[in-house]
Amino acid sequence: MAAHYELKDAANGQFMFNLKAANGEVILTSETYKSKESALNGIESVKKNSPEDAQYERKTAKSDAPYFVLKAKNHEVIGKSEMYSSASAMEKGIESVKKNGPTATTHDITK
């Protein structure tokens, strides 16, 4: 299967999405949105911002695990990665989002 966004229901009637690589692994998880339309706008924002390295903020968790967040031009967080075992693994994750983000299709699995 090709890389895709999986739009799904979240708690309390909200919505969220994951960007999944071709192997099915989640490479970016969104914040939660109050409406489906807002979540779809979030996907469009990932498509626009994901190719640009400047939109990624590389971080380290309290556990010392590296991860990243993708931000829109207004500095709002659009999504974040999983925790990685190393900085090089995190960089591969960023490269995957850069490659797949702009062109991935959207699969709507909401109820």
Range of the domain at 17: 4-108
Instruction: Tell me the residue ranges of DSSP E strands in 10-94.
Output: 15-20, 26-30, 56-60, 66-71, 77-80
Cα separation, 102 vs 53, in Å, equals 13
Q: What is the pLDDT of residues 86-109, one digit of tens each?
A: 999 999 999 999 999 999 999 999
Can you give the pTM of this predicted structure?
Answer: 0.94
Structural domains in the chain (count): 1
Q: Which CATH number does the domain housing residue 84 bear? A: 2.30.29.80
Cα(first)–Cα(last) distance of the chain, in Å? 22
pLDDT recorded at residue 75: 94
- Residue 1: the pLDDT is 77
